[in-house]
Structures are given as structure tokens and as C-alpha cells.
Amino acid sequence: MFLKIISNNNLVGKISFFVFFVFVICFKFLFSNSEHVNLDTITTIVSSANIYIILNFIFLFFISIGLNNMIYEKGIIKKNNTLVAIVFLTIHPFLYDFNLLLIGVFILFFLENIIEIFFNDKINNQVFYAAFLISCASLFNFYLIFYSLLPLFFIFLFKQDNIRYFIIYLLGLIVPYFFIYFLELLFEFKLFNNINSSTTFLFQLKDLKFFIPLVLISIFSFIELFNWMNKKSIRSRNSFFIIIFFAIFTILFLLLRIISFSYFVLLFSFPASLFLANYYLYSKRIFIKHFLFFIFTLTMFFSYYNF
């Protein structure tokens, strides 16, 4: 009953989501393990640190809502709900790292354009924007450019005029770097020195508190997804396969140490939110899914908060 109430995108569901968002933000602010901002430096409401935190609140809110709306509007999940946003907020542990949240915005629109590439016939704009968005994300961490292989895979596998789309995609990848290079020449400063290409693998024992419950609940959601996959619409089914490929890329990049654990958590939170929300919405095992929802939420809090 609880999941049914908060999952509906009606007035009660929206209020539930807002209350949950405030609850998460309060806990993130008070108990987060993050070391990106020294809370002792926060002295006034107009301090730069507080402005930085407020911007993170806003970005986190709009990413979660944007992901929720994208999944419904693209027909990936038919039920109009807020559960995807709630699950994303639960999984996503970052409050003070503004770069990660900014990358999250690029990844959100990157995924949206990949889905459009797969289903539309005229995809010139989507091809360019997908390349442009992942290239912008790679300005913060260059190794994110490897995600450009994902839409190229679908273009060459399912589309004609591959050479034309490849040229458009290549232009989309080049434009952000050309723009940065132009700014360097114009204003004579080295912005490239600030571009992060580090892949320091900071997976520690304490991260298992986050990783293990996420993997366990994901197993339940995958089983439920594949049991009901044949009953989903063709668009929903293919969209799930796109997101699954994105999840596989993310896991492989973690294992190959192309991305750090923090980037893995950010990137994997997108497909995990979809898979878990699908399980919570459609599973017929009422008691089990409620039990797993509460246990998962508690373990997520305990995994990255100091109590």
C-alpha cells in the first residue's frame, strides 16, 4: 500500500515525493560522509559554501524529476509515477560534489537522445546532441568519452547512411573541445589544465556497504524485469535493452578502472533507478517488495552517512 501511495503521480504522490526529497536533503546535509565541503566554513546563509550547497539541491531535484519524466514520456514505464525519482534520490549519495551532479545532467539528456536515435527515422539532431552531451561530460573526466561507443553501436547496427551519421557524431564530439580551445586562444588561459582525466580507483572496504545491497536488490529487479519482458510494448522493451547496455558499459568501465567508484555510483544510479522502480511498481509480491524497499532505503542511508 505504501509504495502504491507514493508511486502515483497525483497530488498525494507529489507531496510524498517532496517530503521524501526534504528528508533526504536534511540527512545529506547533516550526516553526509562527503569531504568536498568543510562545514565549519559555513558561517552565513549568503556564504559561497551555502550557495554551492543550494545549487546542488536544485540540480539533484531536477535530475531526479527529469529522469522520472523521461522514463514515463518515452513509454519505458507506462505508469505515471514518482517512484523513479524517489529511488534515484535514495541511491545517489552526492551532495557537495557539484561536478558529479553537472555530469549527471549531461548523462540524463545523453540517454534521452540515445533512445530517440533508436526509435526515430530522422535522427540528425539526436545524433549530434548525443555526441555533444557526452563530449561535454568528458570535459570533467575525459574517460567518459568511452560512452560515445554506445550510440555508435546502435547507429551502425540499426540505421542506414552510417557514414553520414558518423560524420555528424564526430562533429558533435569535436565541438566542445574546439570551443574550449578557442576560449584558450581568446582569453589566454589554460582551461585544459582543469579537465580531469584521473581514474583513481578509490574502491574501499566501506564502499561494500553501498555496493552489496545495491547488487542484491538489483538481482531481484532483473529477475522481475526478464520475467515480464515479453509483456511489455516493443518501445518499452527496446528502451530497457538500451539502458541495460548502458549499465553493462558502466560495470565494465569500473572493472577495467576506466572510471572511479564515485563515477560508477553516479552513472549506475540511472539504470538502477529504472530497474528498481520497475520492480517496485510491477512485482506482485507485495510484502517482499515493501520489505526490500525499506531495507534498501535504510542500507543506502547507513552506507554513506555518519550516525
Computed on alpha carbons and rounded to an integer, the radius of gyration of the chain in Å comes to 20
User: Has residue 22 got a pLDDT over 50?
Assistant: yes
Tell me which of 150 and 18 has the higher pLDDT. 150
Report the phi/psi class of residue 103: left, alpha or beta, with left for phi > 0 and alpha for psi in -120 to 50: alpha
Tell me which of 303 and 23 has the higher pLDDT. 23
Mean pLDDT over all residues of the chain? Answer: 78
Tell me which of 137 and 28 has the higher pLDDT. 137
Say if CB 302 and CB 29 are below 8 A apart: no
* pLDDT (0 to 100) of residue 175: 92
* pLDDT (0 to 100) of residue 57: 78
* pLDDT (0 to 100) of residue 307: 47
pLDDT tens for residues 229-238? 776 777 788 8
* pLDDT (0 to 100) of residue 35: 45
* pLDDT (0 to 100) of residue 73: 83
Q: Domain map of the chain by residue range? A: 2-304
Say if CB 169 and CB 152 are below 8 A apart: yes
User: Has residue 120 got a pLDDT over 50?
Assistant: yes
